A = this chain, B = another copy of it.
Amino acid sequence: MDIQLTEEQELLRSSIQRFLRDQYDFDERRKIVATDEGWSRKHWSAFAELGLCAAPFQESSGGLGGGSLATMIVMREFGRHLVIEPYFETVVLAGGLIEDAGSPEQREAFLPNIMDGSAIWAVAWAEGRSRYDFNNVTTTARRQGDNFVLSGAKAAVIGAPWADKLIVSARTSGGPRDRDGVSLFVVDRHSANLHLQSFKTVDGRRAAELTLMDVHVPASQLLGAEGEGVVALEACRDRAIAALCAEAVGAMSVLNSATLEYSKARKQFGVALGTFQVLQHRMVDMFIALEESISLTQHLSLSLAAREPNGSKLASGAKSKVGYAARFVAEQAVQLHGGMGMSDELNVGHYFKRISSINIQFGDPAYHLMRYAQQS
């Protein structure tokens, strides 16, 4: 870290670092991923005990008040260890949405269980043809007495198989691509007529395709104003991007160290790989890519913390620039590890796959570059 952390932030960071170093090395992580459930409730509880689940929330919500900087600190360390548990989905996405858009009753109802680690959440905004646009929603929610009735399909919902609760976007009015008319609903994962088809993601997570066939949701579970879900999701995305960038930075830093170390140790044609100038310069460019990503990620987190007006544009910019940088680092880390980089046994390929997934979540670098450009 290069910005001066407060004492509290330093404490948070060192406690995560210590825990992950002791309890979450690559072998442990591999074991967790290989379990039937695919994640570890034990480690999740430990995260909650360390206060990570409460860290970013405002004190008025019962949180520790760490905000976007706390998220950055946590996610960067999680990125370094490829933490598989659904912190991003539960705390950053769902928790953020509830705190930001929920009513006082909803905040009170849902946030304590998120902060104490007892509830897992997932957010279902994407659809089969939505790509990265929140307004591309064909799932419908029609009012029926005290309920909304949801019908449609949601796609690629990361963490859904693990979740207790889902936040689902559905259209309460307007046409299939209208910005207005999308609403958010808190839906019980085990609701009647809600079907999940689970699958594994490339980075070792679990996700699901959701089918909703007349799922009844009490009107009280409408999150935020009716028809204004896109606005809430956009604010959610800014926070999500800051978190994903921090995670990418953590992953990149491991890849850079591993590659450097490997290039010093590994001999070819009688000399260390690291003596070849072409590889040296490649690693310099990886170093520069990381430095710039650290800077931009910090800049974004600080801007979100200060509620700067251009935060959303900046988020797209960071998602693009950090995304390209991370892809470059990941691809070169594999290349410089040679055959070993292709092996599932080594950690390098797993960082590669996580970065590749980060670059898809909430929009790829090209998508956000154009979004940034159009706001310039």
Q: What's the Cα separation between A306 and B161 when bound, in Å? A: 61
- Note all chain B residues with C-beta closer than 8 A to A277: 276-278
A281 at the interface (CB under 8 A from B): yes
A278–B277 Cα distance when bound, in Å, is 6
Beta-carbon contacts under 8 Å, A241-278 to B: 276-278
A277 to B281, CA, bound (A): 10
A278–B275 Cα gap in the complex (Å)? 12
Main DSSP-derived SS at the A contact region: helix
Report the bound CA distance from A272 to B43 in whole Å. 58
Chain A interface residue count: which class?
Answer: under 10
Q: Which residues of the other chain, B, contact A276 by a CB distance below 8 angstroms?
A: 277
Q: A278's closest neighbor in chain B, by CB?
A: B277
Residue of B nearest to A279 (CB): B277
Complex: how many Å from CA A299 to CA B281? 36
Contact residues, A301-344 vs B (CB, 8 A): none
Residue of A276, A278, A281 most packed against chain B (CB within 10 A): A278
Q: How far is the CA of A278 from the CA of B283 in the complex (A)?
A: 13
> Once the chains are docked, how many angstroms separate the CA of A276 from the CA of B279?
12
A281: which B residues are within 8 A, CB to CB? 278
Residue of B with least CB distance to A280: B278
Task: Please report the C-alpha to C-alpha distance between residue A276 and residue B281 in the assembled complex, in whole angstroms.
Answer: 12
**A278 vs B276: C-alpha distance when bound (angstroms):** 9
A281 and B281 CA atoms in complex are apart in Å by 12
Task: Please give me the residue from chain B that is nearest to A277 by CB atom.
Answer: B277
The smallest beta-carbon distance between A148 and chain B, in angstroms, is: 45
Contacts of A278 in B (CB 8 A): 277-278, 281
Measured between C-beta atoms, what is the minimum distance from A280 to chain B in Å? 8
Residue of B nearest to A281 (CB): B278
Chain B residue at smallest Cβ distance from A276: B277
Contact with B along A275-292 (1 / 0, CB 8 A): 011100100000000000
In the complex, A190→B277 CA distance in Å? 61
Most buried by B among A276, A277, A281: A277
**A277 and B277 alpha carbons, distance in the complex (Å):** 6
Q: CA of A278 to CA of B281 in the docked complex: distance in angstroms?
A: 8
Nearest CB in chain B to that of A275: its residue: B277
Report the bound CA distance from A277 to B276 in whole Å: 7
Instruction: List CB contacts (< 8 Å) of A127-158 with chain B.
Output: none
Name the distance in Å between A270's Cβ and chain B's nearest Cβ: 15
A267–B160 CA distance with the chains assembled, in angstroms:
63
> How far is the CB of A352 from the nearest CB of chain B, in Å?
23
**Smallest Cβ distance from A184 to chain B, in angstroms?**
39
A327 to B219, CA, bound (A): 62
Per the bound structure, the CA–CA distance linking A226 and B276 in Å amounts to 64
A77 to B24, CA, bound (A): 66
CA distance A278 to B278 in the complex (A): 5
CB distance from A285 to the nearest CB of B (A): 11
When chains A and B are docked, how far (Å) is the Cα of A276 from the Cα of B276? Answer: 9
**A275, chain B: closest CB distance, angstroms:** 10
Interchain CA distance A270-B192 in the complex, whole Å: 78
Which parts of A14-29 form the interface with B (CB within 8 Å)?
none
How many angstroms from the CA of A23 to the CA of B281 in the assembled complex? Answer: 44
A276→B278 CA distance, assembly (Å): 9
Cα distance, A277 to B280, chains bound together (Å)? 10
CA distance A281 to B280 in the complex (A): 13
Those 4 A-B pairs whose CB atoms lie nearest each other, nearest first: A277-B277, A277-B278, A278-B281, A278-B278
In the complex, 5 of the A-B residue pairs with CB atoms within 8 angstroms, ordered by the A residue number, are: A276-B277, A277-B277, A277-B278, A278-B278, A278-B281
